[in-house]
Amino acid sequence: MDDLVPVALRDGTEAVVVPLLPANREALQNEYEHLSARTRFDRFLAGVPALTETMLDHLVDDVDGLDHVALVMLATTEDGTELPLGLARIIRYPDDPTAADVAVTVVDAWQGRGVATALLSVLVEHRPPGVERIVTVVRADNHASLAMLRRLGEVKVGAAESGTTQVVVRLPAVDARHPHGVDLPT
Confidence label for 184 from pLDDT (cuts 50, 70 and 90) = very low
* Domain 5-170, classified CATH 3.20.20.140, yes or no: no
pLDDT digits (tens, 9 = 90+) for 73-83: 999 888 988 88
**Domain edges within the chain:** 5-170
**Per-residue model confidence (pLDDT) at position 179:** 44
Residues sharing a CB contact under 8 Å with residue 152, sequence separation 6 or more, in sequence order: 120, 124, 134, 169, 171
d(CA 106, CA 27): 14
**Per-residue model confidence (pLDDT) at position 175:** 56
d(CA 136, CA 169): 9
**Per-residue model confidence (pLDDT) at position 14:** 94
**Per-residue model confidence (pLDDT) at position 89:** 95
- How many residues make up the chain in this entry? 186
The upper half-sphere exposure of residue 58, i.e. CA atoms within 13 Å in the direction of its Cβ, equals 7
pLDDT digits (tens, 9 = 90+) for 116-171: 999 999 999 999 999 999 999 998 988 988 998 999 999 999 988 888 999 999 99
